[in-house]
Amino acid sequence: ALAIEPDAASVHNNLGVMLEAMGRLNDAVSCFRRSVELAPDQAEANNNLGAALHAQGAFQEAERYLLAAAGIDATIANVPYNLSRLYLSQGRLDDALSAARSAIEINPRYPDYYITLGAVQRAMGDMDDSLNSLRAAVAVAPAHAMALNDLGVCLLVLGRFDEAESSFRRALTATPRIDIAHENLARTRRFGDADRKQVEYVEALASASSNAGDGQSHLHFAAAKMLDDISEFERAFQHLQSANAIEHQRTHFDADAGRSFVARSRATFDSAFFEDKNAIGNASDKPIFIVGMLRSGTTLVEQILASHPAVYAGGELEYFRGVAGQLPDRLGGGQPYPECVKSLDAATIDAISRNYLAKFTKYSGDAQRFTDKNPLNFEHLGLIMTVFPNARVIHCRRDPLDLCLSIYFQHFSERHDFAYHFADITEYLRQYEQLMAHWHSVFPGRIHDIQYEDLVANLEPVSRAMFEYLDIQWDDNCLEFHRTARPVGTASHWQVRQPLYTRSVERWRHYEPYLEDLRAALADQPGQ
């Protein structure tokens, strides 16, 4: 068709759709671009180009074409749907929510729109609304495997493990090869010897040569988790290596960009900067930011805090990542983040802080304080402490061998491209250590460090010291943290609902024969 009609926009668009389905994303983008060049007033081609650019990570360009599509034809539901997914990946949750609702208004019979709405609501901490949206998706399409899977994830976050397991099994009944459901099912509980047949079944699926790509990595992660549960450590690590090799191949960790960000953050957020901006920050001391590396114990710390009646657990919020991404355009001047923060004025800080505090009004009830436990907020502590100079910061630390191994065990949903190779994990760890050392230097005595191993070994004294730092009176309920009912949106959702255990301390010893590369990488780590 292209040979016959080389200048037909529809032909280039259709070819792009086929190429994208084949996984040839770069070629698809080229076709969509040509289609838009030939017929810039075609909404479908603009929409397809925007969605494909989003998949490439070109967020600003993607938004431009998606908004163009919306301006051409406001009746195509896929346009606000794609905008919602784009905004969600950027942390622009209010925009994502509005776009997802627009898609449903246009076409209320398409389950994927409810799935995306549920994902946005979950990211906003609106778990009841998210549950309702995902149930609506299943009501529209009772055999929709991804709707059932995502409903299971929501139930898992809410601690309703039996219901979550049932939903994952329904997803697998509807579509036996929805491999992500196998991985999620593996995380509903701790497996034992009685489950060996199920473990062997998943292991066989993971090893089958007919599987490839993302699906295979889900199965390898599932098998690794199950085998670790039943103490089959050698086989677990084999699957772990396979899973991470697949993910490492499809992702790219830009270590140079990370080093540059750390250096620029340290140069921007110096003591003189905070002396200049301190007077215009919001005086509220309600926010408690829990930061650290992934898998460092932040969820356990938040669970302990949430067991106190004066504290509301906000979960992992993407708010400040979203603010950081929008600041250059918001402030103008052509400066990137973080350099652009030097242009922050009182009005902008007031708007950022009020919008943030308003997010908790609906849910926090009588709580005097609330937590934000996005661990990677350590990247934005300079911005956070500019907006909230009286905020408290709890910094979670963990033994580096256990920390890196735990990250290696985890299949992250997005934006953690460093997590799938030990050299990348330790490089990111190095950058984190450098940035945290800087925050300690510019905020002396204002960041409270907690070592995970100390917390597990000495729960009460370490917890009491944390509450003393927060200036909150001690409550014995905090020792019964596993009884606290709240959403837990991380990989630790099952663990923090169990009584305190020490299995995760020196877990690396089970895998010592396979960790030579990790040990070598850590040997180059200052202070290790």
Taking only the tens of pLDDT, the chain with its 528 residues reads 455 456 799 999 999 999 999 989 999 999 999 999 999 999 999 999 999 999 998 999 999 999 999 999 999 999 999 999 999 988 888 999 999 999 999 999 999 999 999 999 998 888 899 999 999 999 999 999 999 999 999 999 888 999 999 999 999 999 998 999 999 999 999 999 999 999 999 999 998 855 555 579 999 999 999 999 999 999 999 999 999 999 999 888 999 999 999 999 999 999 999 999 988 999 999 999 999 999 999 999 999 999 999 999 988 888 899 899 989 999 988 899 999 999 999 999 999 999 999 888 777 778 899 999 999 999 999 999 999 999 999 999 999 999 999 999 999 876 799 999 999 999 999 999 999 999 999 999 999 999 999 999 999 999 999 999 999 999 999 998 776 654 544 444 545 455 666 778 899 999 999 999 999 999 876 544
Q: What are the tokens at 307? A: 């067991």
Position 474 in a domain = yes
d(C-alpha 416, C-alpha 412), whole Å = 7
Q: Which domain holds residue 373?
A: 255-399+445-500
Structural domains counted in the chain: 1
| C-beta of residue 17 within 8 angstroms of C-beta of residue 28 | yes
- Which of these, 220, 183, 249, lies nearest to 424 by C-alpha position? 249
Q: pTM to 2 decimals?
A: 0.86
Residue 453: which CATH number?
A: 3.40.50.300
Position 150 in a domain = no
Backbone angles phi, psi at 293, to 5 degrees: -70, 160
Q: For 410-505, where are the alpha helices, taking DSSP H only?
A: 422-442, 452-457, 459-470
d(C-alpha 508, C-alpha 28), whole Å = 44
**Angle 14-16-20 from CA coordinates, rounded to 5°:** 120
| Rg over CA atoms, the chain | 24
Rounded to 10 deg, the angle between the 400-409 and 516-523 helix axes is 130
Q: What are the beta bridge partners of residue 450?
A: 396
